[in-house]
Each structure stands twice: as C-alpha cells, then as structure tokens.
Amino acid sequence: MMALTMNTGTLSTARDRRARLTRDAIGVLVILAVAVLGYLLFPNNLALLTRITAIALLVLSLDLVTGYCGVATLGHAALFGAGAYGAGIAAAHFGITDPIAMLAVGVVAGALAGLVSGAVVLRAHGLPQLVLSIAIIHLAHEAANKASGWTGGSDGLAGIMPDAVFGLWQFDLWGRTAYVFGIVLLIAAFVVLRQIVRSPFGMLCRGIKQDPLRVRAMGASVHGTLIRMYAISGAVAGAGGALNAISTQVVGLDSLSFTLSAEALVMLVLGGTGSLYGALIGTLSFLWFEDVVSAANPFHWLTIVGALLIAVVLFAPKGLYGSLAALIERRGRKGR
Amino acid sequence: MSAIFDVRNLKRTFGGLAVTNDVSLSMAPGDRVALIGPNGAGKTTFVNLVTGNLLPNSGSVALGGEDVTRLGPTERVRRGLVRSFQVTRLFSEMTPEEHVALAILQREGRTGRMFASHRAMPDVMDEVHALLARLGIAHLARHRVSEIAYGQQRLLELALALALKPRVLLLDEPAAGVPQSDTARIEQAIADLPADLAVLMIEHDMDLVFRFARRVVVLAAGEIIFDGSPDAVTKDARVRQAYLGSYADARSVA
Ligand SMILES: Nc1ncnc2c1ncn2[C@@H]1O[C@H](COP(=O)(O)OP(=O)(O)O)[C@@H](O)[C@H]1O
Ligand SMILES: [Mg+2]
C-alpha cells in the first residue's frame, strides 16, 4: 500500500496537505480549548494566564534555537527583555501607545537582539557557547540597569498606557482584553511556526542539529541558517516581551534576567525539546505547578519544583510531551 | 587539456608524519577513476583535503579551472564537488524522503523557503521517489533513518550525493558495510551515472574496481605509487610490494 501511494507524487501531496491542515487545525483548537477552560476556571486570575501566554512565546522561541537547531543557551531572556523594553520604551518615551504598534516594536527589537546574540553565541559550540550566552544576559541586564533614564533601572519602567485594541477593546482592570490579545498572539505565532519548522528551512535546521558536517557536504551554509533562525526566534520572544509589557504596563529587570533564561530552558526540557507542543505544555505545567505549590507551601515550593524536575528528567527524559508522543507512536506500531 | 578536477602537490602532515605527500591528480569529465591502497594509506584524508574538510599544508585544488584551495567545503559543493562518506553520515531522526528532498532543494537554492513544505512540491517529490526507487529503498521513504538497516543507509548516502547532481563525485568506499545482496544496486547506480560526470571511487573490492574503473590510482603511505590502466596495476611491482607489506604489518600487529 505504501508503494502505491509513493509512486504518484501529485496524489500523495494533496493527501499530505489535507493531513497537515487537519493536524494544524486540531492544534489551534486544543490551544483555544485550553484557553477558554482557563478563562472559565480562573476568571480572577487572568493576569497569571496572560503571563503564562507571554512566557510560552519565550519558550517557543527558545525551542526554535535549542530544540530545532541544537544551540545551547542560558541567555534567551535577552530577546524577551528586548521586546519588553522595546514596546515599553516606545510607549513611555515616544508616545507609541497603540498596542499593535507596540507589539511591532517589540517584535523588531526582539529580532535585532536575536541577530546580535546569535552573532555572538554562534561563534562557539558546547560549553563555551553556554558561557557566551550567560555573558550576554548579564551584560544586557547590566546595560538596562545602567540606562535607568530609559528603562527606569531597578524600579522598572512605568507609565506604559496602551490604547484600546483597534480602538475598540480597552485594556480592562480584570485583564480580559489582555488575555484575549495574548491568546490570539500565541495562536498566530503557533500557526506561523508550524509552517516554518516543517518548511525546507526548518528541515535544514533539524539537519544542522543532527550533523552540521553533513549539512555542509550538501552545500548549505550552517552559520547563515542559524543566524536567520535566531532572528525569527528573537521576533517570537520579542512578541512575548511586548505582550508582557502591554498586559502588566510595567517592564522590570527580571524580564531580562539569567533566572528567566534558565527557567525558560527548564520549562522547555520539562515539556520536551524539538516540538512546539512540548514548549507549550512545558510552560503551562511549570508555571501552573509553581503557582499551586508556592501558594500551598510558600517555604518549600522550590524544593518541590526541583524534585518534580528530577523526576521528569530521570523518568521521562524526552519531557512530558516527548515521552507521551513516543509512547503513542510505539503503541500505534504494535497495533498495526 | 580540459581537467574539471585538478589537484597539485597536495601535502598534509599530522604530528610531523606526512599522511598526504605531494599528491597530484587530475580528472576530465567522464573519467572513472578508482583510488585504492592499503588501510591507512591516506585515501580518506585525500578526500577530506580536496573537499575542504581539512586544510592542506601546501598544494592546490582547482575545479573547472577555478582555484578553490581557499574556499570552504560549502562553496566547493556549490561548484559541483560532492563526496560521500566512508562511515555513513545521516540525520538519524529524519526520513530518507526528507534527506533527499533537502539535497534537491539545496541544489536548487530553495532551502531558504519558510512557508512551503517539500511535500507540497510535486516536482521535488517525484524526483525524490524516482531516486529512492532507483536505489531500491522507496519503500523506506518515510521511516526514520535510525530504524533502517545499515546497508540501506549506505544506499541513502549514495542517493544524497546523486541528488546534488555533481560535476565531480568522490565516493569513499560506497559499498563498505553493504550486504552482498545490495552491492549490485550500488554498482548499478554508479554505472548509471551521467556520462560526463567525473567520478573517483575509493574501493577495496577489486572485482568492483575492475568493472568500474578505466584508470586506477594507488596510494601507499600518503604517496601515489601507481597511476595507470587496470590491466597494468596487478602487474606493478611497487603495488604488490605495498599490499604485501601492509598485510605483513597487519599480521605482525594482530
Ligand atoms: N585528524 C587526524 N589526526 C591524526 N591522524 C589522522 C587524522 N586523520 C587521519 N589520520 C591518519 O592518517 C592516516 C591515513 O588515514 P586515512 O586517510 O583515513 O586512510 P585510508 O582512508 O586510506 O584508510 C592514518 O594513519 C590515520 O591515523
Ligand atoms: Mg578511508
């Protein structure tokens, strides 16, 4: 049966396209369903849900360079922070208060930060690469701290007052508009990234992760490809940062911190690298778990989170989503 | 003389030892050259030097009259110099279909595309499946490489090189590790290569060498000790000496 479908290229491409569209539609519906469920279950905690959405964009962005390209980084919050400060400074200092325009500024700032940190981080491999990424986040943090005239320094950047979305929806006290804005943004990013990761470009990135020498032997440029992916990754993280600035109306130094970078990596590993679903599931479960545990036991919550992480890494090394997907695949094969 | 591939006085040392010592070799379009020599003679090193994966201490490499000695491996591939690896290098998490599609797209400068899937490109898919079918692995098109047998991975390694449509093809022991039942496929694929392509094949199986080559080059201890017709090679005293020597060494080590 396999051989039959293989021989007729046109027939199978049409079928493949339908299968891909179906899978993407399911993905979007699942995100929507989870978002609606969150809205109904926690109507008084929309600020947390919006924060999870913003961080999800950061973790998706990290997945692009770490999960798909194999770049080791502990400095990815630099891209998120660039987006947050970009959008915040545009609003507070330049009067750009239209949320879409703020988002655009965040995306561009994130992409530029991606280009710069990519250019530095990609000079090395392995541990030196990790060290470079740590240096970048510390430098960025310090720069934002010093430039307090622009960033508000350690007090944070205040005075961000976004207008209504399309002049129609005001950002309300309960954070409803911000939440919907965030979910729409996340779904848009998800749809675009699904395209990119399975495009020829995405395939090339996966190849680079597995064997850069082989990629070169095919005549492709490893460095150029990775730099481009870094810029895309920066745009996504920058969108997350901008969302954070728009929804909380402040930007703090924590958005540009080593801690946030490391936590993003933890969330990605928790969910499973190299898959967009893994990034989403990792973010959601980590931040939700952190919220529940820190409320229940404010003194030992870090210990509990640590224990959970060790359990996942030891017993589900591919992460929550990765392990589940592998299990289903094995089941499916047995059934066949 | 219209050499498409021209290597002059290539030299490379590792820790003072010359692994490639003053090697010169040129090929014209359509050449079928076998590069043979005992294990450790420097055959793979020669390929690494020529493709830019290793830097030579001295010497030059030219492709179609252009000096490429200072160019990186990617640039040389783009100019039509393609190699296969003695030990298969593939993307273990990807499928043969993806491998070959990637090679075809790269050849056509389409790997930068972000909003299309190779599966939605009938021209690419047709070429992918034609090539995989020629090597007898079309039925594995959508299996992960980590799940397929080594012999079939060797066939895919060859498919990748072919998909790039090179002008000069360097095959490093393409049949090594391939079960007898599949070597015929490899041999056939090599025999079917475009007539104007220059091919250099490293190979140990002398039957294969004699069926393939119109010219044999023998490398021993980093130096070319013979360059001539397949008929003459078996009668050459130095060649015999080199092979006997290496076997004697191997025995005394073992
Ligand atoms: N990177 C390297 N560093 C040191 N020695 C090397 C390196 N690569 C190859 N060699 C040595 O060069 C010699 C030739 O190796 P190789 O080219 O692989 O031989 P062949 O392919 O003819 O069997 C061997 O003695 C090998 O140990
Ligand atoms: Mg060798």
The residue extents of the domains of chain B are 5-249
Nearest Cα to Cα of residue A64 among A286, A250, A227: A227
pLDDT at B235 over 50: yes
B165 in contact with chain A, both atoms CB, cutoff 8 A: no
Q: Which two tokens stand for residue A134?
A: 């740590």
pLDDT tens digit at each of 336 positions of chain A: 344 444 445 566 778 788 888 989 999 999 999 999 999 999 999 999 999 999 999 999 999 999 999 998 999 999 999 999 999 999 999 999 999 999 999 999 999 999 999 999 999 999 999 999 999 999 999 999 999 999 999 999 999 999 999 988 999 888 999 999 999 999 999 999 999 999 999 999 999 999 999 999 999 999 999 999 999 999 999 999 999 999 999 999 999 999 999 999 999 999 999 999 999 999 999 999 888 888 888 778 778 878 888 888 888 889 999 888 888 888 877 665
Q: Give the residue, out of B10, B36, B44, B170, with the most ligand 1 atoms within 8 A of its beta carbon, to mutate for a pocket test.
A: B44
Tell which residue, B69, B36, B15, has the closest CA to residue B171.
B36
B89 contact A CB<8A: yes
Question: How far is residue A285 CA from its own chain's centroid?
Answer: 14
Q: Which residues of B touch A18 (CB under 8 A)?
A: none
- Which residues are within 5 Å of ligand 2 (an ion), measured at CB? B 43-44, 86
Q: How many CA atoms lie within 13 A of A31 on its CB side?
A: 25
Reply yes or no on whether the pLDDT at B50 is more than 70: yes
Provide the residue type at A81 as one letter.
Answer: G
Q: Evaluate if residue B252 carries a pLDDT over 80.
A: no
| Per-residue confidence (pLDDT) for residue B226, from 0 to 100 | 93
How far is the C-alpha of A282 from the C-alpha of A268, rounded, in Å? 6
- Alpha-carbon distance of A193 to A62, in angstroms, equals 12
Average confidence (pLDDT) over B106-121: 92
- Phi/psi for B164 (5° steps) reads -80, -5
Which tokens hold the place of B185? 């496929």
At A299, list the tokens. Answer: 């003194």
Q: Are B73 and A216 within 8 A, CB to CB? A: yes
Q: Are strands B215-220 and B58-63 parallel, antiparallel or unpaired?
A: unpaired
Alpha helices in B41-121 (DSSP H): 43-51, 73-78, 96-107
Model confidence at B244, pLDDT cuts 50, 70, 90, reads low
**Ligand 1 pocket, residues with Cβ under 6 angstroms:** B 14, 19, 37, 39-45
Chain A residue with CA closest to B119: the answer is: A13
Chain B residues touching residue A198 (CB < 8 angstroms):
117
Q: How far is CA B166 from the centre of its chain?
A: 11
Percent of chain B with pLDDT over 90: 78
Report how far residue B62's alpha carbon sits from residue B80's, in angstroms, rounded to the nearest whole number: 12
pLDDT digits (tens, 9 = 90+) for B122-162: 999 999 999 999 999 999 999 999 999 998 999 999 999 99
> Chain B contacts of A203, Cβ < 8 Å?
94, 98, 101-102, 111, 118
Q: Enumerate the β-bridge partners of residue B82.
A: B169
- Cα distances from A175 to residues A54, A123, A153, A244, in angstroms, run 14, 42, 26, 12
In a mutational test of the B interface, the residue from A21, A23, A192, A199 whose CB has the highest number of chain B CBs within 10 Å is A199
CA of A158 to the centre of ligand 2 (A): 65
What pLDDT is recorded for position B177? Answer: 84
Which chain A residues are Cβ-neighbours of B95 within 8 angstroms? none
Interface of A with B (CB under 8 A): 2-3, 6-7, 9-10, 12-13, 16-17, 20, 195-196, 198-204, 206-207, 210-211, 213-214, 216-222, 225, 228
Q: Which atom of ligand 1 is nearest to the CA of B222?
A: 14
Residue A268 class from Cβ within 10 Å (0-12 exposed, 13-18 middle, 19+ buried)? buried
Tokens of B47: 């390929």
Nearest to A219 among B92, B112, B164 (CB): B164
Question: Residues A256, A81: contact at Cβ < 8 Å?
Answer: yes
The pLDDT, as a whole number, for residue A66 is 96
Query: Which among B51, B89, B114 is the nearest to A201, CB-wise?
Result: B114
DSSP string, B209-238: HHHH-SEEEEEETTEEEEEE-HHHHTT-HH
State whether A17 and B110 contact (CB < 8 Å).
Answer: no
CATH topology of domain B5-249: Rossmann fold (3.40.50)
| CA A273 – CA A209 distance, rounded (Å) | 12
CA angle (A117 as vertex; A116, A118 as ends), nearest 5: 90
* B250/A294 Cα distance (integer angstroms): 67
Instruction: Quote the minimal CA–CA distance from A187 to chain B in Å.
Output: 17
Per the CB < 8 Å rule, is B164 touching A218? yes
Distances in Å between the Cα of A21 and the Cα atoms of A15, A312, B51, B108 are 10, 32, 42, 27
pLDDT at B254: 32
- Residue B17: helix, strand or coil by DSSP? strand
Give the global pTM: 0.91
Radius of gyration of chain B from its Cα atoms, rounded to whole angstroms = 19
